Structure 1
Amino acid sequence: MKILIIEDEQLLADSIGELLRGKGFDVEIVYDGESGAQYAELGVYDLLILDVMMPKMNGYEVARQVRAKRLGTPILMLTARSGLEDRITGLNAGADYYLTKPFDTRELLACINALLRRQGAQVDEITFGNTSLDLDSAMLVCGENSIRLSAKEFDIMRFLLQAGERNLSKEVILARVWGFDSDAVENHVEVYIGFLRKKLASIGSNIRIAAIRRMGYHLEVQDDD
């Protein structure tokens, strides 16, 4: 399960991240609302943990922007503002639960587990067209044919499948797969997209990785003819 923490108090954000990683979650952290909205809108997270008072964009605005994109990702708001009107504003903005600071870590974990349970059982494969990606084995499967992906191929393919027909820029793929601190360049993305296209073709997939100049990549399903 992937969780995005959007919190400008770095010590608190990092401590929550460490706690959740210890529970087996895949966690990413950003420290301002504007960056948080950009990450959240990728649609690849199972839960957003969102502070209210942040620089650049507050949590209410982030939640509204996420919901405006028709993303149903559960949102857990963390804030020191415990007034009734504040809670109502948060819920109306799109939050699913409103937890006030300071909070007990047991309560935080209980809230997270409750919100994730609403999402149903953890997904173990992603399907698009006639092709599925098995998240446990990193196998790309089409009918009776299958092929194993390398770690980077798996990360990019999962990212593309989760985005579906939405464009992902090379910059976003670089940041998400290689990380902000990496020396990788856009050519690395192009090379791995080439690998994935060959592997999709080798198993008879009807998925096409389409490229749009200056926009990035998205998936399409090819017609049988």
Structure 2
Amino acid sequence: MRVLVVEDERRLAAALKRGLEANAFTVDIVHNGSDALWTAAQRPYSAIVLDIMLPGLNGYKVCAELRRGGVTTPILMLTAKDGEYDEAEGLDTGADDYMTKPFSYVVLVARLRALLRRGHAAPALLKVDDLVLDPGSGTCKRGEQEITLTAREFAVLECLVRRPNLVLSKFEILQQVWDEHYDGDVNVVEVHVSALRKKIDQPFGVRSLETVRGMGYRLVGRAE
């Protein structure tokens, strides 16, 4: 699940990125309102975490402009402005939730997942044969057996489960799961796919996660 964080305080933005990535989110960051509007129009996001006190366009104006433009992505305002009128204005301009700083990462993640369950950004469950992913809770099962995945493994698997039986290249998976500034070895995808096979296939005697030589990877099976 890809989240856009709009936060002008760079240290906090970096901390938000680390905290959300530890909970299976892929995070893009911008630091002002104009960049937020442009970036939100370039690709679909599961949610937007939006500060109010931004240089240029403030968070209220960004939220209102996104809604006027037909963007329905869930928006959580995260701000130091803690007055009741501030919160009311944020919700009135189209935000779905409002949190004040300082905040708890546990609560932030829970609220984001709640927004995803309520909204249209992610289905409640993703199923291919007996493999079941719950993007809202970050859990994975095959049949009744729970499977423990790292945050990055879950994100790679979710990418494949959302497009069952289609071949995704390493580059496509990198774009979806790693942030846009990643410039490391693309074979990191191969490492995570190999780890996934050992968890979702081998213990159950199945071969659902396939390598298509020279092209990429696909998860085969009947999707629901």
Q: TM-score range by the shorter chain?
A: 0.5 to 0.7
Distance 1:110 1:80 in 2: 19
Is the 2:28–2:179 contact (alpha carbons within 8 Å) kept by the matching residues of 1? no
Structure 2 gaps, min length 5: 129-157, 184-214, 216-224
Aligned partner of residue 57 in structure 2, secondary structure: coil
Q: Distance in 2 between matches of 1:75 and 1:49?
A: 6
The residue number in structure 2 matching 1:6 is 6
Q: Is contact 2:82–2:100 with CA below 8 Å preserved after alignment?
A: yes
Task: Find the aligned partners of 1:55 and 1:6 in 2 and give their Cα distance.
Answer: 11
Name the counterpart of 1:193.
none
2:47 aligns with 47
Could you give the per-residue CA deviations for residues 92-118 of structure 1, whole angstroms, max 9, x where no partner exists?
Answer: 111001101111222212211211111
Change (3 A) 1:20 1:124: farther
How far off its partner does 1:81 sit? 0.9
TM-score, normalised by the number of residues in structure 2: 0.59
- For residues 116 and 35 of structure 1, the distance between their equivalents in structure 2, rounded to whole angstroms, comes to 23
CA distance in 2, matches of 1:22, 1:15: 11
Does the 8 Å CA contact 2:78/2:101 hold for their aligned counterparts? yes
Q: CA deviation at 1:150?
A: 2.0
Deviation per CA, 1:53-84, whole angstroms, max 9, x where unpaired? 00121101110111011111000001111112
Shift of the alpha carbon at 1:124? 7.6
Task: With a CA cutoff of 8 Å and minimum separation of 6, indicate the structure with the bigger relative contact order.
Answer: 2
Counterpart of 2:124 in structure 1 is: 121
d(CA) in 2 for partners of 1:6, 1:49: 6
Gaps of 5+ in 1: 126-133, 142-146, 159-176, 183-198, 200-225
1:148 match: secondary structure = coil
152 and 60 in structure 1: CA distance in 2 versus 1, 3 angstrom threshold: same
- Amino acid corresponding to residue 47 of structure 2 in structure 1: L
- Identity rate, percent: 36
Secondary structure of 1:136's aligned partner: helix
Give secondary structure in 1 for the equivalent of 2:3. Answer: strand
Cα offset for 1:155?
7.0
Residue matched to 1:136? 160
Change (3 A) 1:101 1:151: same
Q: Which residue of 1 aligns with 2:199?
A: none
1:35 CA displacement: 0.4
Q: CA RMSD in A?
A: 3.0
